[in-house]
Structure 1
Amino acid sequence: MDEAVADCVALLGTVVDRDWQAARAGRLEWSCHETAVHIASDLVSYAGQLAGRAQDGYVPFDITLDEGTGNAGLLDVIRTTGALLAAAVRTAPPGARAFHPYPFRSADREGFAAMGVAEVLLHTHDIAEGLGVPHEPPAGLCSFVLTRLFPHVRPGPTPWPTLLWATGRGELPGRAPVTAWRWCNAPVLPTDRLVLQSVTPAAAMELAAGDDGGFTWVEGGPVEGTRMGSTLVVKQYEEGVLRPEWGMYALVRREDGRAVGAMGFHGIPDEDGRVEVGYDLVPGARGRGYATEALRALSAWALAQDGVTAVLAVVERSNVPSQNVVARAGFTRVADDEEQFLYELRTPWG
Structure 2
Amino acid sequence: MSFQGGEHAAGQVTESVAEAVAALRPGTTKDWAGTTARGLTWSCRATAEHIASDLIAYAGQLAGRAQDAYVPFQITIDGTEGGLDPADNAGTLQVIETTGALLAAAVRTAPRAARAFHPYPFRGAGREGFAAMGVAEVLLHTHDLTEALGLAYEPSPAHAEFVLRTIFPHIQPDADPWRTLLWATGRGELPGRAPVTEWRWNNNLVLPAGRLVLEGLTPAAATDLTAGGDGGFRWIEGGPMDGTRVAAGLLLKAYIEGVLRPQFGVFVLVRAEDDLAVGGIGFHSAPDEDGRVEIGYDLVESARGQGYATEALRALADWALARDDVRSLFATVEPDNAPSQAVLTRAGFQRVSTDPGPSHGQGAGADDGHGHGDTDELYAYELLPTTR
Q: Do they fold alike, i.e. is TM over 0.5? A: yes
Distance 2:86 2:223 in 1: 48
Aligned to 1:12: 24
1:45 paired to 2:57: yes
Q: Which amino acid aligns with 1:267?
A: S
Aligned to 1:341: 379
Distance 1:53 1:213 in 2: 23
Distance 1:49 1:278 in 2: 34
1:72 paired to 2:90: yes
Distance 2:244 2:33 in 1: 52
Distance 1:111 1:128 in 2: 26
Distance 1:105 1:241 in 2: 24
1:33 paired to 2:33: no
Give the match's secondary structure for 2:37. coil
Aligned to 1:83: 101
Distance 1:268 1:120 in 2: 33
After TM superposition, the structure 1 = structure 2 runs for residues 164-183 of structure 1, keeping only pairs within 5 Å, are 164-183=182-201
1:194 paired to 2:212: yes
Partners of 1:97 and 1:106 within 8 A in 2: yes
After TM superposition, the structure 1 = structure 2 runs for residues 78-227 of structure 1, keeping only pairs within 5 Å, are 78-227=96-245
Match of 1:292 among 281, 285, 310: 310
Distance 1:348 1:188 in 2: 25
Partners of 1:299 and 1:348 within 8 A in 2: no
Q: Which amino acid aligns with 1:86?
A: A
Gapped regions of structure 1 (runs ≥ 5): none
1:158-208, Cα deviation, whole Å (9 max, x unpaired) = 100000000000000000000000000011001221110011101111111
1:95-114, Cα deviation, whole Å (9 max, x unpaired) = 11100000000000110000
Aligned to 2:262: 244
Aligned to 1:24: 36
Post-superposition offset of 1:118: 0.5
Report how many residues are paired.
Answer: 350
Aligned to 2:280: 262
Match of 1:229 among 247, 250, 253: 247
Distance 1:308 1:237 in 2: 21
Post-superposition offset of 1:349: 8.1
Post-superposition offset of 1:345: 0.7
Give the match's secondary structure for 1:153. coil
Partners of 1:314 and 1:342 within 8 A in 2: yes
1:148-167, Cα deviation, whole Å (9 max, x unpaired) = 01000000121000000000
Moved more, 334-343 or 299-308: 334-343
Distance 2:386 2:281 in 1: 18
Partners of 2:24 and 2:151 within 8 A in 1: no
Distance 2:386 2:300 in 1: 27
Match of 1:310 among 328, 331, 336: 328
Q: Which amino acid aligns with 1:207?
A: L
Aligned to 2:363: none
Q: Which amino acid aligns with 1:149?
A: I
Partners of 2:139 and 2:155 within 8 A in 1: yes
Q: 1:84 to 1:342 in 2, by over 3 A?
A: same
Distance 2:20 2:69 in 1: 29
TM-score, length of structure 1 as denominator length: 0.98
1:75-127, Cα deviation, whole Å (9 max, x unpaired) = 01101111111111111111111000000000001100000010001100100
Q: Which amino acid aligns with 1:270?
A: D
TM-score, length of structure 2 as denominator length: 0.89
Post-superposition offset of 1:42: 0.4
Q: 1:119 to 1:3 in 2, by over 3 A?
A: same
